[in-house]
Amino acid sequence: MAAMVRNPLYEALQQAARTIGPMLDQIEADIERPLRTFRTGKVWTGPTAQQFDAQLTQHSTRARASVQAIKDELRQALSRTPSEVTEEEATSIRRKYDII
Residue 82: CA count within 13 A, CB half-sphere = 10
The pLDDT, as a whole number, for residue 23 is 97
- Residue-range definition of the domain harbouring residue 83: 4-97
- Please check the confidence at residue 25 and state whether its pLDDT lies above 90: yes
Angle between helices 87-97 and 8-38 (to 10 degrees): 50
Mean predicted lDDT score pLDDT of the chain: 95
Backbone angles phi, psi at 54, to 5 degrees: -65, -40
Please give the tally of structural domains in the chain. Answer: 1
**pLDDT, mean of residues 17-38:** 93
Measured CA to CA, the distance from residue 87 to residue 91 in angstroms comes to 6
* Best CA proximity match to 87, nearest among 24, 1, 15, 26: 1
Cα 55 to Cα 62: distance, rounded to the nearest angstrom: 11
